[in-house]
Amino acid sequence: MEKRIIRLGKTACFLALLLAPALAPRALASPYDHFGLSSRASAMGNAYTALATNYTGVFYNPGALVFSQGASVGLGTMLSNYNLKVNSQKKSIDSLLGINIGAVLPFSGMFEGRTAFGMALFLANTNLLYDVTSHPQDDPFFVIEENRPAHMQILFDLAVRLTEGLSIGGGLQVNQYLYTTVDVAVNTKTILGDKQSPIPMGNMNILNMYKGTPTAGIYYRPLPNLRFGLSYREHINFRLKLVSTINITGAKDLLNTVSDSVPVQLTVDCLVHYTPRKAVLGVAYDPISQLTASFDLAWMDWSAFPSPAPRIEAYSPVPEINAALQSTYPPMEQPKSPGFHDTLVPKLGVEYRLYKWLALRAGYEFTPSPVPEQPDGKTNYLDSSRNTFTIGTGFRFLDPIGISVSPMEVSLHFQYHQFAERKVTRDYTASGAMFNSGLDLEFNF
C-alpha cells in the first residue's frame, strides 16, 4: 500500500512536469527596451528621452508629447534575427516580427498647446500569441534574449505643459495576462501498472486579461537647441498560472481508499513577462542647425528579477495521498534566486540633416549583463554584456497620396547587437549576435 501511494505521488508530480512546458517563460523583456520604438529612435541608439516629441514619447518620455508639432500618426515594422551560440552551436531562437502603430493628438480649445494625448500599439508574431517554451533552470539558455515576446503591448499617456519650456506626463504600459485551467482524467491502472498510454486531457480555458504598469516623464527645454528629459517606468511582472485537477480513477482497489476517485490538484506558476523598473536621464543638443547629438543614461532594476523557473505545487484532500505527494515533492529542484544586479546603460545618438529632405543617423549603446557568475551549474543563464551599433536614415517629402498636407517622413534603421563571449561554467561558453532592422512612416497633420 505504502509503495503504491508513493508511486502515485511521483506520478502526480510527473504529470506536473508534463504540464509545465505549456506554461513556462516565453517573454521576459520588452522589445522596445531592446530595439526601440520608431526607426529614428532605433537608429540613434535609443538615446531619445530628450527627443521624443512625437508618438514615441509614450515609451521614451511621456512629458515630451505636449511639444509635438501638431497631430501625427506613425506606422512601422521591425524584424529581428538571432545568431546566439552555446559551445559554438547555434541556438534555435524564433525571429521577432513586430508591427508598431502610434499617434499623438494635441488638445484644442482652452487646452491647445497645453495638453496632448499619445498612444502606441505593438503586436509581435501574431500567429504565436499563446506560444510558450519551457526551460529547466539548469539548462543553458539566454534568459533575457531567448524566445522574444509573442504578445501585445499597448501604451497610452497624457502630457501637460506647466510653463513655456517645462512639461510632465504619465500613463500606462499594458500587457496581456493569461490564466489557464485544465481538467485531466487519469486511470491508476494505466499509471501504476506496467502499461503506458497517453493521458487524456480535458477542457482548457484561457482567460485573456490585461495588466498595466505606470509610466511618467518630465521634459524641459530651456533653449531651442537644448532639451532635457527624465522618465520612469515601474516594473512589469506578471505570471501565467495553470491549475489542473487530476482525478485518479480506480483508487479504491489499488490504494484502499474510501472513494474510487482521488482528486489531485496541481498548480504550475511561472513567469511569462518581466521588464525591470527603469529610470532614464537624457539630454539633446544642437551645436549647429543641421546636427543633433543626444545622450541617455538608463538605470535598470534587474536586482528584483525573480526566478524564471516554473513553480509547481501538488495537493490532495485525501490525507494519505497528500502525505505521499509532499514526501515525494518537489519533483525538481526548487527555483533558485537568479541574483541579478542593477545596471547602468549609456546610449549615444547623432543625427545630421544633410538636406531638408535627407537625414543620416547613427548610435551606440552599451548594455552590461545583470547576470552574476554561476560556478555551481545550478543555473546556466548565458546573457552577457552587449555592444549595440546602429545606423539609419530618414527622408522627408510631401505626401503623394494626400493623407497629410505636411511633409511625411520615411525612416529606416539597422542594428547590430554583439554579445561578449561568456563562460558560465566549465561546460558552457556563450557568444553571438542579433540583428534588427525596420522601416516606418510618419504622417503629420
CA distance readout (Å), 124 to 101, 127, 340: 12, 9, 27
State phi, psi for 441 to the nearest 5 degrees.
Answer: -120, 140
Most confident among 43-47, 146-150, 233-237 (mean pLDDT) = 43-47
Question: How many domains in the chain?
Answer: 1
Residue 135, pLDDT score: 67
Choose between 235 and 135: higher pLDDT: 235
- Domain of residue 216 covers 2-444
User: 3-state DSSP call for residue 114?
Assistant: coil
Assess whether pLDDT exceeds 80 at residue 430: yes
> What is the C-alpha separation between 151 and 153, in angstroms, rounded?
7
Residue 193, pLDDT score: 47
User: 3-state DSSP call for residue 59?
Assistant: helix
Write out pLDDT tens, residues 83-110: 999 998 888 777 888 899 999 999 988 8
CATH code: domain of residue 24: 2.40.160.60
Most confident among 11-25, 89-103, 230-244, 352-366 (mean pLDDT) = 352-366
Choose between 78 and 326: higher pLDDT: 78
CB 129 within 8 A of CB 370: no
| Sign, Cα dihedral of 128, 45, 365, 37 | negative
> Which element (helix H / strand E) includes 192?
helix 188-192
pLDDT band with cut points at 50, 70 and 90 for residue 257: low
Residue 202, pLDDT score: 45
* pTM recorded for the entire structure: 0.83
> What is the C-alpha separation between 74 and 410, in angstroms, rounded?
10
Assess whether pLDDT exceeds 60 at residue 14: no
Burial 98-118 (b: 16+ CB within 10 A, else e): bebebbbbbbeeeeeeebbbb
Residue 66, pLDDT score: 95
Write out pLDDT tens, residues 269-299: 777 778 899 999 999 999 999 999 999 999 9
User: 3-state DSSP call for residue 109?
Assistant: helix
Residue 130, pLDDT score: 47
Residue 197, pLDDT score: 43
List the beta strands (DSSP E) in 356-385. 358-367, 380-381
User: 3-state DSSP call for residue 385?
Assistant: coil
